[in-house]
Amino acid sequence: MKPFSALTQALACAGVLFSAQAYAAGEVNIYTTREPKLIQPILENFTKETGIKANTVFVKDGLIERVKSEGERSPADLLMMVDYGNLIDLVNAGVTQPVQSDTLESAIPASLRDPGHQWYALSTRARVLYAAKDLNLDKFTYEELADPKWKGKVCIRSGQHPYNTSLFAAVIAHDGAEKAQAWLEGVKVNLGRKAAGGDRDVAKDILGGICDIGIANSYYVGQMLNAAPDSDQRKWGEAIKVILPTFANSKDGGTHVNVSGAAVAKYSTNKDNAVKLLEYLASEKAQGLYASANYEYPVRAGIKPDATVASFGALKADTLPLADIAKYRKQASELVDKVGFDQ
């Protein structure tokens, strides 16, 4: 255990509200970029089953910078992030450590974890097509977004948003940079409005007649369709249908997915507990809770998604490893600026 005086100073500088007991053998400290309430029921079950208390600190922005500034005195044991790019950035920043676990590797597909064992996906969200309900459309490829027949009918959020740079990087990985640029130029021409807003705005604008189709994340539909019956969000969700797109040149014909995941902090003082929590989050029980609480897809095979999500059809995820797609993130971002996608 680290000296209490050093701990107190380090925690005060970081603004962390952990007590000194947070370094006890029966606890694990989590820094998370997603609202803790989304996983709180899962953490409570973990504590009931193991006796290990899970402390959470919500770090909306600057998680990497915070952990780096805390250095060896950081109280963080587990770092939870949304978007595989952010997980890879953790590794590149040198704030994680490898975890060798047969439990994790048997539960999580190789395409959804770091080849160097630094991070593991815990849930997935598909980048799907929202389409007006009255459209005679039941299948789609991402490449079709650039088809001239959709001119003025496509809605999407900023091309520089991580959800989209992730998809665009996958297009580069599948089709090559030259074709990806031409595709992105075609999608821009087809936009019914400036690339902006959020994913739910795609459904809102389809209801408003601004566009007919758009790309957005799957779990937002679960949130919208389960909102209050008289709410605007419910109306947006009821105005669309969801199609699981594929890549035209993919042999496997899979849909692009992104992830939420976690890595063990480099200077974790409760590493064993952090690994236990990771393994629990990949368990059948926790994966079922993930699916019901957040409308996300489980990473573990054999776990049923929420009924709303299941109504979209069976998800067959693109098998291209996220670590391979990540190589093209920077190039995807550069192409967004090159074609003036957000202008």
**Is residue 115 a contact partner of residue 323, using CB atoms and an 8 Å limit?**
yes
Which tokens belong to 38? Answer: 């989304």
CA neighbours closer than 13 Å in the CB half-sphere of residue 262: 27
What number of other Cβ atoms are within 10 A of residue 241's Cβ?
18
How many C-beta atoms surround the C-beta of residue 331 within 10 A? 18
Cα angle vertex 243, ends 305, 284, to 5°?
Answer: 15
Query: Is residue 267 a known part of a binding site?
Result: no
273/7 Cα distance (integer angstroms): 19
Task: Give the Cα separation of 37 and 42 in Å (integer).
Answer: 10
Q: CA-to-CA distance for 277 and 50, rounded, in angstroms?
A: 9
Q: Which residues of 194-211 are buried (b: 16+ CB within 10 A; e: fewer)?
A: ebebebbbbbbbbbeebb
Whether the Cβ atoms of residue 198 and residue 177 lie closer than 8 Å to each other: no
Describe the chain by its helix, strand, coil percentages, rounded to 5.
Answer: 45, 15, 35
Q: Tokens for 35? A: 């609202």
Helices 162-175 + 177-190 axis angle, to 10: 130
Cα torsion 326, 176, 248, 223: sign? positive
Give residue for tokens 């949304």: 82
Instruction: Report which residue type is found at 313.
Output: G
Question: Both tokens of residue 29?
Answer: 């400290």
Q: How many other C-beta atoms can be found within 10 angstroms of the C-beta atom of residue 324? A: 13
Residue ranges for the binding site? 219-220
Residue ranges for the binding site for Fe cation? 219-220
